[in-house]
Amino acid sequence: MSFICAISGEAPATPVISAKTGRVYEQRLLQKYLDEEGREPGTEHSLSEDEIISVHADPPAVKPRPPTLTSIPALLSTFQNEWDALVLETFTLKQQYQQVRQELSQALYQNDASCRVIARLIKERDEARQTLESLQAQVGELRTQQAVDADDAAGASMEVDAGNPEEVYYEKSAEVATELRKGRVKRKLPADLTPADQWKAAALASTVESLHSTTQPGILALDVDTTGELVLTAGEDHHAEVYARSKDQTLATLKGHTKRVNAALWINGGGLGERIITASADKSVRIWQPKANNTHENAKAIGWTKKHVIKTHAAEVTSLSIHPGGEYFASASIDGTWAIHTIDGDTVITEQLDSQITQIEFHPDGQFIGIGTADGLVKIVDVKQKQTLATLDVATEAEAKQVVGLHFSENGYYFATTSAMSAAVWDLRKQRKVREWSSSDLESDDASAFTAIRFDKTGGYLAFANNKLHIFQVKGWHHLCALGDSSAITSVAWIGSLSTGIVAASSDNSLRVFEPKLLE
């Protein structure tokens, strides 16, 4: 069935019928005509909406094909026109594609040039910063020297300042820093420093199977005197011990703490005639005085007695560090406090952080201090100004964020840190990592935690413990050797000023000494 509209003469899309005349219309055209003329087309009478009947055709009316599609030549002509349009469109797209390629190539070239310029500018900026820092250090030294000269000229003022322990500390610290910086400017590695080739062939030299008590095993810290003969250890058994390597015996046991001893240090490089400092989980720091008859010839009478007990902290004391001048030391606690004391037991400075402190270490110049926290941060603090100069996120793993190791290199620029998951070396000048290691970098068991880390006394070598003791040459960060077995190493200490050996303490109460192999 088909309908023809009385107005257009074509098949209507929406057919309707007039109730008065019976004519078929396209609804759209009829409505428009009624709106304009007010009557049905071709008649004089009006037509209301009620008199318009909609037609529901099934199937719907089909429009006739246009004349151009009623023959084969017409169809071919239509296809040819469509093909031509498609070819033209393809050609246009190719032109646009080529244009986009050219624009992209130009953009990439400009990006590469920009990156080169930015890299050059960053390099120039870093060089300028380094130069500025060097100049600031020189200016600081000059100002310090001028201040010292001014204080020398004002005798009365000096006497007043001498009565303030904190001011005396700042003055002595500045003097020590000035002197140490002078000696560090052109300092080179000693010519007789143990060569890296010998450390590559290093091996176990001796083992002490058991120190401290076997009922509460675990050596938590150690320190070696300047001769490399006496080893000071701190243990889980609440004691500190002094062990003589040549005699292979424990010379003295320092008893007095009521909980584990977390840190133990020699004063003034150590020896039978020097004092010892220990820090414990019982909230106290103790200073031990050597007996008057401490000599190797009188080995049975060797010992140290308690001289001072410092109770500055309200919770477990976790770490100790000796000031480079040798007259002061710092302590830190999990209650967030850190303090500086004289070696005679007087507390000079006490400060509070909002985090638990796990590590503390003096900068080699003595005017700054590094503080490691339980939430994975290391803060570099200017002691005199009471200002945090830098805060560095050491540990990125949420489950092991505690800083467990912190040590400055002798050059004053580098410092090393460990968390359970990684070890890293930082550049203080740029406040960024220079090198970082994880267990996968060392081909170690992923479950092995990083613990102690230590530069040697020259700054030429670095050692840290994972499941083994790893030694690196600082220049180039070459891995020289991995020493020991899978025992849990808790602390390490270099022997001598020329790095002639290294001592490692373990949680099984053992003490291992590794030495480089002399090459023929």
Lowest mean pLDDT among 87-101, 244-258, 377-391, 397-411: 397-411
No. of H helices and E strands in the chain?
5, 31
Is pLDDT of 398 > 70? no
Cα 132 to its chain centre, rounded Å, is 25
What is the value of pTM for the model shown? 0.68
Rounded CA separation 137/135 (Å):
5
Residue range 342-384, pLDDT digits in tens:
999 999 999 999 999 999 999 998 889 999 999 889 999 999 9
Nearest C-alpha neighbor of 238 from the set 265, 223, 220, 252: 220
- Which residue matches tokens 């010992």? 303
Rounded CA separation 72/82 (Å):
15
DSSP code for 363: -
Residues of the chain with pLDDT > 70, as a percent, come to: 89
Residue range 477-486, pLDDT digits in tens:
999 999 987 5
Provide mean pLDDT across the span 36-50: 86
- Which residue matches tokens 């192999």? 517
Q: Are 348 and 341 in contact (CB under 8 A)?
A: yes
pLDDT of residue 126: 87
Provide mean pLDDT across the span 497-507: 92
Residue range 150-187, pLDDT digits in tens:
666 655 444 434 568 899 999 999 998 888 887 776 67
Domains located in the chain, CATH noted:
1-66 (3.30.40.10), 196-293+300-516 (2.130.10.10)
Residue range 310-322, pLDDT digits in tens:
999 999 999 999 9
Lowest mean pLDDT among 29-33, 161-165, 434-438: 161-165
Rounded CA separation 222/264 (Å):
6
Q: Are 7 and 34 in contact (CB under 8 A)?
A: no
- Which residue matches tokens 């201040």? 147
Average pLDDT score over the chain: 86
Peptide bond into 217 cis (omega under 30): no
Q: Are 491 and 504 in contact (CB under 8 A)?
A: yes
Cβ-based burial of 200 (10 A; exposed 0-12, middle 13-18, buried ≥19): middle
pLDDT of residue 159: 46
pLDDT of residue 333: 96
Q: Regarding predicted confidence, which is higher, 361 or 134?
A: 361
Is pLDDT of 229 > 70? yes
pLDDT band at 134 (very low <50, low <70, confident <90, very high): confident
Residue range 243-299, pLDDT digits in tens:
999 888 899 999 989 999 999 999 999 999 999 999 999 999 999 999 888 887 777
pLDDT band at 336 (very low <50, low <70, confident <90, very high): very high
Provide mean pLDDT across the span 78-107: 91
Rounded CA separation 286/8 (Å):
112
Provide mean pLDDT across the span 46-60: 81
Q: Are 381 and 369 in contact (CB under 8 A)?
A: yes
Is pLDDT of 435 > 60? yes
446's CB contacts (< 8 A; 6+ apart) are 439, 440
Provide mean pLDDT across the span 11-15: 85
Provide mean pLDDT across the span 122-134: 86
Nearest C-alpha neighbor of 370 from the set 423, 401, 413, 335: 413
Provide mean pLDDT across the span 392-414: 82
Is pLDDT of 210 > 60? yes
Is pLDDT of 439 > 80? no
**Which amino acid is it at 152?**
D
Lowest mean pLDDT among 168-177, 294-303, 411-420, 468-477: 294-303
* Stated length of the chain: 520
Provide mean pLDDT across the span 447-466: 88
Rounded CA separation 185/183 (Å):
6
DSSP 405-440: EEEE-TTSSEEEEE-SSEEEEEETTTTEEEEEEETG
Q: Report the SS3 class of residue 194.
A: coil
pLDDT of residue 231: 95
Is pLDDT of 4 > 50? yes
Is pLDDT of 328 > 90? yes
Judging by DSSP bridges, how do beta strands 489-495 and 453-455 pair with one another?
unpaired
